[in-house]
Structure 1
Amino acid sequence: MTAIRAYRPSDRDAVDEICVRTGASGKDATGLYSDDSLLPDIFADPYLTYQPDLAYVVDTGDHVAGYIIGVADTVAFADWYKREWLPGFTKRHPLEAAATDDEREMIRYGLSYGSRLVPELGEYPAHLHIDLLPELQGQGFGRALIRRLLAELEARGVPAVHLGVSGSNKSARAFYDRLGFHELPSSSPEGPSLGIATSAVV
């Protein structure tokens, strides 16, 4: 029976695979970069290392096919990322070894990732990432994952959460709009930034 449950350390490989298979604006990014670990090394593994208690997965009974991950305090996470995660990331993904301009741009993003803070952090201190394989999409699991994380953040006294979404990922943007996410003042068409109160009913 497919169900949402708390993340376990044994789920990390599955989360990394999902991150890659949804990493090209929601489509499969396998082989897009010379090292498939690049995307999860930016968008998944730091979160699972820093705050695994804010990670939830969708378990089909056979495999994990979706996840939501987040941090309650983005400023603290960014400080940790620069101090603890970045040295290893730099060694694993040397900029000079990038095979393409796109790969070089993604590595640069990873190098500056902990410093990319939206101006609205005072009001929206938490942030999240969510990804579902196609087999789960359109069945309500995305909404349920968002609801689960919002409830946990609210219980911890966190007032609101933000996220970034690719400007080209129209289906993801429509999903967030349906749940009640709204654009933050700093949002741009190229890099939309969305937010929602943790007390919101989604």
Structure 2
Amino acid sequence: MNPLPAVRPYRPADRAALDDICVRTAHLGGDSRPFYEDPGVFPVTFAAPYAELEPELVFVLDDGRGQAVGYILGTADTPRFAADFRHKWLPTVADRYPAPEGPPTTPDETIAALLHDPERMVLPELRGYPAHLHIDLLPDYQGKGHGRALMRTFLHALHTGGVPAVHLAMATANTRARPFYDRMGFHEIQVPDPGGATFLGRATQQD
């Protein structure tokens, strides 16, 4: 019998797989490698800092053989995380991915600018949704209920920890992802000048 994929807590040995999943899903849900000179800028911005700063809120989909093929990760407290990102994480990667000297002119510089601006995560409209998350699955594991399992695990961890609500930001152009979030009970949060993103939120308590 083939082993079945299952959700489990993150382990430090998953770090390389976490980075790989992020790179292979970062371009509107697809592989970023054809579009970026150094797509490693994605995991240092959107995956690795969570594993470093808040590993207890990182869960992976294990393929049944010990290999992570998807993840959900985030923070229980976005303002605290943004401050830790600035002071604890950014100094470890800033030399490899320097901030653009002016407005970004390449796709890589656009993501590097986000890396160097963790305060962008803290918006007054999101105050009622203190937690936030990122979720990604490799293509072969999408559409099979694994995303729902990851999301339920994460929501349970937040709710158990006393966190009332969570939000996420998705690229508005990533229209394939929106139906999943709708099915998971997320609703749109109006944010002025969202910069190509759609913000979604929901309570952590599950039906």
User: Could you tell me the TM-score, scaled by structure 1's length?
Assistant: 0.93
Which letter does structure 2 place at the counterpart of 1:82? R
**2:9 maps to what in 1?**
6
Shift of 1:118: 2.6
Q: Which has the larger helix fraction? A: 1
**2:124 maps to what in 1?**
119
Residue 104 to residue 199, structure 1, CA distance change in 2 (3 Å): same
User: Could you tell me the TM-score, scaled by structure 2's length?
Assistant: 0.90
Residue 82 to residue 95, structure 1, CA distance change in 2 (3 Å): closer
CA RMSD of aligned residues (A): 1.8
Please state if 1:45 is matched with 2:48: yes
Shift of 1:31: 4.3
C-alpha separation in 2, matches of 1:70 and 1:109: 16
Q: 1:77 aligns with which of 81, 85, 94?
A: 81
**1:181 maps to what in 2?**
186
C-alpha separation in 2, matches of 1:28 and 1:171: 14
Kept after mapping to 2: 8 A contact 1:58/1:141: yes
C-alpha separation in 1, matches of 2:133 and 2:127: 16
Question: Which deviations, in whole Å up to 9, do the C-alpha atoms of 1:97-125 show, x marking residues without a partner?
Answer: 9x961111111111113443232343100
Q: 1:193 aligns with which of 189, 195, 199?
A: 199
Kept after mapping to 2: 8 A contact 1:47/1:70: yes
Between 138-147 and 105-114, the greater mean CA deviation after superposition: 105-114
Please state if 1:164 is matched with 2:169: yes
Kept after mapping to 1: 8 A contact 2:99/2:116: no
SS at match of 2:176: helix
The unaligned stretches of length 5 or more in structure 1 are none
**1:59 maps to what in 2?**
62
**2:92 maps to what in 1?**
88
C-alpha separation in 2, matches of 1:4 and 1:116: 27
Kept after mapping to 2: 8 A contact 1:55/1:68: yes
Residue 96 to residue 177, structure 1, CA distance change in 2 (3 Å): closer
Please state if 1:103 is matched with 2:108: yes
Question: Which deviations, in whole Å up to 9, do the C-alpha atoms of 1:139-189 show, x marking residues without a partner?
Answer: 111011111111110001000000000011111111101111001121658
Question: Which deviations, in whole Å up to 9, do the C-alpha atoms of 1:20-53 show, x marking residues without a partner?
Answer: 0000010001243222321000000000000001
Kept after mapping to 2: 8 A contact 1:77/1:114: no
